[in-house]
Amino acid sequence: MRRYERRPAARRRSAPARRDSAQREGCSMSALTKEEGLFVSAIHAAQIDEPLPRATWALYLLCVAVVVAIGWSAVAKVDEIARNEGRVVPDGREQVIASLDAGILRELFVREGQEVQAGQELAHLDPTRVEAQQNESQAKQRMLMAARARLTAEANGRSVIQFPPEAPAGSRPAQAETESFDARRRSLDEAVASINRSAAMLTRELKLS
């Protein structure tokens, strides 16, 4: 004969236990009932009934930021920079660039390995030495041109020297050549006069004899 045993009725679960069970089953509890409020403290009930809005919005913003970051990393392209040592070898013949005149470098406008164009200014040298040599050469040139003008006037028997524009009459070479021309002309005139006097004396002697 089968015996029936009377099982005790299941105890009524407390409000926190039912709430945890409902949360595990996916149910959301927006507020507490009067019976559940008897089993929880006032602080816990206030936290369940009125969740903190700041924490909720912060959680939402964090989720949105994570989604945006994942989307950006999947779409955006990031440039990769790699550094390494190398050497540039030209295809044609290397052209050595050098100055014809040695001097002191005052200013440099290019750097090593830079591409340059024809006629581009590369550097400035100190012009002190070059200018001194140039001035000396120009002075010698003016003196030679003034001397040539003096010799031309003497050869043609002119009384006035015609100096070129490069050595005008008021310049120092022209003045020096003019003084030399006058002195040589006086000497020549004196020599001619002396020869004429000697010739006249010889003529008189021949007539007397």
In this structure, the chain runs to a length of: 209
**Which residue, among 16, 43, 42, 13, has the nearest Cα to 29 in the 3D structure?**
16
Q: Measured between alpha carbons, how far is 64 from 71 in angstroms, rounded to an integer?
A: 11
pTM of the model: 0.41
DSSP result, 73-113: HHH---------------SS-------SS---EEEE---TT
* pLDDT computed for residue 13 by the predictor: 44
Buried b / exposed e over 49-70, threshold 16 CB at 10 Å, is eeeeeeeeeeeeeeeeeeeeee
Q: Measured between alpha carbons, how far is 204 from 209 in angstroms, rounded to an integer?
A: 9
Amino acid, res. 7? R
Per-residue pLDDT of the chain (209 residues; tens, 9 = 90+): 444 444 444 444 444 444 444 444 333 344 556 566 566 566 565 555 555 567 778 888 899 999 988 888 888 777 777 788 887 777 777 777 676 767 778 888 888 878 888 888 888 888 888 888 888 998 999 999 999 998 888 888 888 888 888 888 888 888 888 888 888 888 888 888 899 888 888 888 888 76
Tokens of 150: 């003096």
Q: Measured between alpha carbons, how far is 183 from 166 in angstroms, rounded to an integer?
A: 24
* pLDDT computed for residue 6 by the predictor: 46
What DSSP state is assigned to residue 4?
P
Residue pair 181/200 in contact by the 8 Å Cβ criterion: no
* pLDDT computed for residue 10 by the predictor: 42
Residue 120, φ and ψ in degrees, nearest 5: -75, 140
* pLDDT computed for residue 140 by the predictor: 92
Q: Which residue has the tokens 């090593």?
A: 112
Detail the DSSP E strand segments found in the chain.
105-108, 123-125
